[in-house]
C-alpha cells in the first residue's frame, strides 16, 4: 500500500468517525437542548444508577466530550497517543454497558446513542461501536509515527473545555424542584360547544325502577348504585388537580408539540362528544414548547383543565420506562387502565370506550 493510499484511507476513516461523534452529540440535543438532555438523563442515566444531582453534570460532560472527540479526530496534535486511544476507550465503555443492558433487559427500546433523532436498539449500537473501534484501530496502524515534540497540548484542552462549557451554556441546569403551572383546573375555559351539558353520572347497570314503587324502595335502589364503585384511593395526582380522586377521570400526559399526543387528544374529544358520561379529562403538559398549548387545544377540538410541569418531573410522573402520549383511566383515585407510548401499549379509543363502559363489578375482576 502506497503512502498516498494510506493517507487517503486515514482521512476517510477520520471523516467517518468525526461524523459519527458529531452526529451523536447533536442528536442528543434534538429537538431542543434542555428537553433532549433531560430526557437522556431520565431514560438513560437514572436507570444506570446516576443520582439526580450527578446526572445533569455527567450528561453535559459526556456530550461535550463527544463533540470534542469529533473535532479532535480531524486535527494532528497527539492524534495517535491521546485522541485515538481516548476515542477507542469511550467506545469500549459504551460497548460494555450496552452488552450488559442487552443481557439484562433484552434488545428493546432506544439505546440513546443518537437521542430521539435516530432511535437505535442496543444490539445495533453495539455493532456500530465495534465497527468504529475497528476503524480506529486501523487508523492507528496506518498513521505515521511522527514525533510529538512540536505538538500543542493546549489545542486538546481548549477544544475539550470549550465543547463541555458550550453544553452547560446552551442547556443550563435547572433546579430539580422547578415547576410551574399556567392555569388552575377550575380556571381553564372549556369549549361548551363540544360538551353535552347534561349532568355526568356514573353509568352502572341497574334494574328498571317502577315509578309506582314506594319511596323506601327507591332509596334502597339508589344505595345500591352508590355502592357499585371502587373505594376511595389517593392516586398521587391531587397536587395537580384537587378533585382527581373523586369519581371517574381521564388523566393525560402530553407534550404540546407532540403529533401523537395531539392525535390522542382528538380521539378523546371525539369519544367525549358521543358519550355524555365520559370521564372528565385533565392534562399534565410537559414544559416543552408550552407556547403551543393554544394550538394543541385548537387541533384537539376542545380545551381541558391542565397543568404544566418541568421536563424531569414530567418524566417521573409519567412513570419509569413510559413514553408519551399517556392516558390513564382513574375511578376514585384507582387506576384501571394506562396507555402510553406509540407502540404496543399506545392509546386505543375503541378499547378505552369498552373499559370506561364497564361497571365496577367487571373492572375489579
pLDDT for residue 176: 61
pLDDT for residue 242: 93
Question: Burial code of 145-161, b = ≥16 C-beta within 10 A, e = fewer?
Answer: eeeeeebeeeebeebbe
Please state the φ and ψ torsions of residue 308, each to the nearest 5 degrees: -120, 130
pLDDT for residue 363: 84
Tens place of pLDDT per residue across the chain (365 aa): 788 899 999 999 999 999 999 999 999 998 889 999 999 999 889 888 899 899 999 999 999 999 999 999 999 999 999 999 999 999 999 999 999 989 988 887 788 888 778 888 999 999 999 999 999 999 999 998 876 667 899 999 999 999 999 999 999 998 765 443 433 333 333 333 333 433 334 344 444 445 445 555 545 555 444 458 899 999 999 999 999 999 999 999 999 999 999 999 999 999 999 998 999 999 999 999 999 999 999 999 999 999 999 999 999 999 988 999 999 999 999 999 999 998 889 999 999 999 999 998 888 65
CB 40 within 8 A of CB 66: no
Burial of 357 (0-12, 13-18, 19+ CB in 10 A): exposed
Select from 127, 240, 235, 132 the least CA-distant residue to 183. 240
Vertex 90: Cα angle to 85 and 96 (nearest 5): 120
Bridge partners for 306 per DSSP: 283
pLDDT for residue 179: 41
Residue 170's contacts (CB-CB under 8 Å, 6 or more residues apart) are 29, 33
pLDDT for residue 98: 92
Residues 68-99 pLDDT 10s:
999 999 999 999 999 999 999 999 999 999 99
pLDDT for residue 175: 74
DSSP string across 246-259: SSEEEEEEE-TT-H
d(CA 253, CA 313): 12
Select from 309, 318, 315, 241 the least CA-distant residue to 281. 241
pLDDT for residue 227: 58
Residue 163 corresponds to which cell in the numbers above?
465543547
Residue 136's contacts (CB-CB under 8 Å, 6 or more residues apart) are 13, 17, 84, 87, 88, 91
Residue 185's contacts (CB-CB under 8 Å, 6 or more residues apart) are 241, 242, 243, 282, 305, 306, 307
Select from 303, 278, 282 the least CA-distant residue to 239. 282
Q: Distance of alpha carbon 58 from its chain centroid, rounded?
A: 19
pLDDT for residue 114: 86
CA distances from 251 to 21, 160, 187, 247, 274 (A): 40, 45, 17, 12, 19
Bridge partners for 252 per DSSP: 283, 327
Bridge partners for 328 per DSSP: 251, 338
User: Which long-range contacts (C-beta less than 8 Å, at least 24 apart) are formed by 361-365?
Assistant: 361/228, 363/230, 363/331, 363/336, 364/230
pLDDT for residue 186: 36
Q: In the β-sheet with 306-309, what is the strand arrangement from edge to edge?
A: 306-309, 280-286, 248-254, 326-331, 334-340
Amino acid at each position: 500500500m502506497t503512502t498516498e493510499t494510506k493517507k487517503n484511507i486515514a482521512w476517510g476513516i477520520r471523516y467517518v468517525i468525526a461524523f459519527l461523534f458529531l452526529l451523536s452529540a447533536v442528536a442528543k440535543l434534538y429537538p431542543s437542548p434542555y428537553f433532549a438532555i433531560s430526557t437522556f438523563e431520565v431514560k438513560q442515566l437514572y436507570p444506570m444508577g446516576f443520582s439526580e444531582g450527578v446526572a445533569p453534570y455527567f450528561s453535559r460532560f459526556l456530550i461535550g466530550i463527544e463533540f470534542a472527540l469529533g473535532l479532535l479526530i480531524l486535527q494532528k496534535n497527539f492524534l495517535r497517543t491521546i485522541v485515538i486511544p481516548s476515542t477507542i476507550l469511550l467506545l469500549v465503555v459504551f460497548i460494555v454497558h450496552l452488552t450488559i443492558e442487552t443481557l439484562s433487559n433484552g434488545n428493546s427500546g432506544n439505546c440513546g446513542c443518537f437521542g430521539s433523532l435516530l432511535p437505535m436498539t442496543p444490539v445495533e449500537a453495539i455493532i456500530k461501536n465495534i465497527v468504529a473501534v475497528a476503524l480506529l484501530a486501523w487508523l492507528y496502524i496506518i498513521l505515521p509515527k511522527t514525533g510529538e515534540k512540536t505538538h500543542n497540548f493546549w489545542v486538546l484542552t481548549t477544544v475539550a473545555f470549550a465543547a463541555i462549557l458550550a453544553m452547560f451554556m446552551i442547556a443550563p441546569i435547572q433546579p430539580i424542584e422547578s415547576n410551574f403551572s399556567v392555569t388552575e383546573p377550575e380556571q381553564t375555559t372549556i369549549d361548551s360547544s363540544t360538551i353535552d351539558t347534561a349532568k355526568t353520572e356514573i353509568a352502572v347497570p341497574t334494574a328498571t325502577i317502577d315509578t309506582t314503587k314506594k319511596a323506601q324502595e327507591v332509596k334502597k335502589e339508589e344505595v345500591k348504585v352508590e355502592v357499585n364503585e371502587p373505594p376511595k384511593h389517593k392516586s398521587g395526582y391531587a397536587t395537580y388537580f384537587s378533585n382527581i380522586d373523586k369519581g371517574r377521570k381521564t388523566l393525560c400526559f402530553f407534550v404540546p408539540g407532540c403529533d401523537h399526543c395531539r392525535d390522542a387528544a382528538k380521539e378523546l374529544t371525539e369519544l367525549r362528544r358521543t358519550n355524555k358520561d365520559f370521564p372528565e379529562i385533565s392534562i399534565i403538559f410537559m414544559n416543552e414548547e408550552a407556547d403551543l398549548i393554544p394550538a394543541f387545544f385548537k387541533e384537539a377540538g376542545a380545551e381541558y383543565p391542565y397543568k404544566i410541569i418541568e421536563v424531569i418531573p414530567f418524566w417521573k410522573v409519567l412513570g419509569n420506562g413510559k413514553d408519551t402520549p399517556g392516558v390513564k383511566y382513574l375511578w376514585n383515585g384507582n387506576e384501571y387502565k394506562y396507555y402510553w407510548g406509540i407502540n404496543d401499549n399506545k392509546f386505543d379509543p375503541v378499547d378505552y370506550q369498552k373499559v370506561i363502559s364497564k361497571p365496577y363489578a367487571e373492572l375489579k375482576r
